[in-house]
Amino acid sequence: MELKPRYLLLAFGLHALLFALLFVSVLFQHKIEAPAAIEAVLIDAVPKSAPPPKPQPKPEPLKPEPPKPPPPPKPEPKPEPPKPDPAKEMARFKADVLLKLDCDNLTQMKMDAAMRPPEQRKIMDELIRDRSDACRKKQEEKKKQEEELARKQEDQLRKAEAQMRRQQMEQEAKQLAEDQRKREQEEQRRRQAEMAAALGAEEDARAAAAKAARQRTWGDKIADKVRGNWKRPNGSAQDFVCLVKVQLLPGGSVVSAKVVKTCGGGIALDDSVEKAVLKSDPLPMPDNPEDFDRNLTFQFQPH
């Protein structure tokens, strides 16, 4: 591992300091000895040279202290985290606000924006204003669509009502026409019935007249037989006409006889006619059996 230059300089300085300390320590440990007294005898005036001083023993060198281990290298400072980009932070904040912002919570978001820092409040105010405008436009568009839908529905309702009225009028017209047709048919049937009735009545009248004529003929036959059995009472009129009602059984048997229109000659004359009818039993039958009448009234004359 390569040592950095500052670490080399630091190590070199520490070693130099260590040797300087050792040298000073040796100087302080060297003892200063006083010079020894010299006894001398003057012999002559010529001084002799002093003997050389004894060599001082050299101090034992101090054992050098073991070098201290170099201090561990200081850990490299952790790199500071990069400061967030304000633009990105604001963009993220703006995205969060847009995510939360809704047409239903604009008031709450305004209250939240009022408690924000100025920069965030400014962003929120702009977003709230934009969203408020968008919501207003959306509401206006929704109202416009609802009004348009209501107008279309009202128009459809008017058309439906008009169609119903037309159909009702057509139905009423058809009903009137049908009623008129029925009335005309009924009137035609009535006229036909009246005509038929008139024709029937006429025919019935003719038939009745024919039957009456035949019954008169039958009555004349009965009257002829009764005249043969009639005896004129004394003092009776020579000519008279009376109506006699007889009740008959099938076959001509007489049940009863009654003069219903007097002969005009008193009771004796009427009784004589009734007795003649009973004596003529059975009376002649009509030529046509359909002309038989159980209660027949015929006209009686003496001749």
Between 147 and 35, residue with greater pLDDT: 147
Residue 280 lies in a domain: yes
Q: pLDDT-based confidence at 51, cuts 50/70/90?
A: low
- DSSP annotation of 287: S
Residues sharing a CB contact under 8 Å with residue 179, sequence separation 6 or more, in sequence order = none
- Lowest mean pLDDT, pick from 31-45, 58-72, 225-239: 31-45
Q: How many domains does the chain have?
A: 1
Backbone angles phi, psi at 196, to 5 degrees: -65, -40
Residue 275 has pLDDT above 50, yes or no: yes
What number of residues does the chain have? 303
The tens digit of pLDDT for each residue in 225-270 reads 898 898 888 877 788 888 999 999 988 889 999 988 888 878 888 8
What value does the CA radius of gyration of the chain take, rounded to a whole number of Å? 85
Q: What is the mean pLDDT of residues 105-116?
A: 88
At 61, the pLDDT band (50, 70, 90 cuts) reads: low
pTM value > 0.85: no
The single residue listed with the structure tokens 């400072």 is: 77
**Residue 279 falls inside a structural domain:** yes
Residues 77-87 have a mean pLDDT of 74
**79: Cα separation from own chain's centroid:** 67
Rank 2-11, 49-58, 90-99, 155-164 by mean pLDDT and report only the highest: 155-164
Mean per-residue pLDDT over the chain, rounded: 81
Concatenated DSSP letters of 99-134: HH--TTSHHHHHHHHHTS-HHHHHHHHHHHHHHHHH
Question: Is residue 39 pLDDT above 70, yes or no?
Answer: no
72 vs 74: CA distance, rounded Å: 6
Share of the chain above pLDDT 90, in %: 25
Residue 267, CA distances (Å) to 41, 224, 274, 296 in order: 253, 22, 11, 22
Residue 257 lies in a domain: yes
Query: Residue 147 is encoded by which pair of tokens?
Result: 């009004």
| pLDDT for the residue numbered 156 | 93
Q: What is the pLDDT of residue 4?
A: 53
- Does any domain span residue 237? yes
| Strand order, beta sheet including 295-300 | 254-261, 242-248, 295-300
Question: pLDDT (tens digit, 9 = 90+) per residue, 142-200?
Answer: 999 999 999 999 999 999 999 999 999 999 999 999 999 999 999 999 998 888 888 87
Tell me the C-alpha distance between 295 and 303, whole Å: 24
Query: Is 250 contained in some domain?
Result: yes
107 belongs to a structural domain: no
Q: Given pLDDT bands bounded at 50, 70 and 90, which one contains residue 22?
A: confident
Print the domain residue range for 233.
214-300
Q: Which residue has the higher pLDDT, 81 or 144?
A: 144
Q: Is residue 270 part of a domain?
A: yes
Using the predicted structure, report yes or no on whether residue 286 has a pLDDT greater than 70. yes
CA distance 18 to 227: 204
Instruction: Show the CA angle centred on residue 182, arms to residues 179 and 186, nearest 5°.
Output: 135
d(CA 114, CA 293): 125
Please give the pLDDT value at position 46.
47
DSSP string, 203-262: HHHHHHHHHHHHHHHHHHHHHHHHHHH--PPTT--SS--EEEEEEE-TTS-EEEEEEEE-
Which amino acid belongs to residue 190? R
What is the pLDDT, as a whole number, of residue 288? 87
Residue 23: C-alpha distances to residues 16, 85, 234 (Å): 11, 60, 222
pLDDT at 145: 94
Give the whole-angstrom CA distance, residue 76 versus residue 68: 23
Q: According to the model, what pLDDT value does residue 291 have?
A: 85
| 263 occurs within a structural domain | yes
Residue 251: left if φ>0, alpha if ψ -120 to 50, beta else—which one? left
Write down the pLDDT at residue 60: 66
For the domain that residue 237 is a member of, what is the CATH number?
A: 3.30.1150.10
> Has residue 42 got a pLDDT over 50?
no
pLDDT confidence of residue 58: 66
Residue with tokens 């604001």: 90
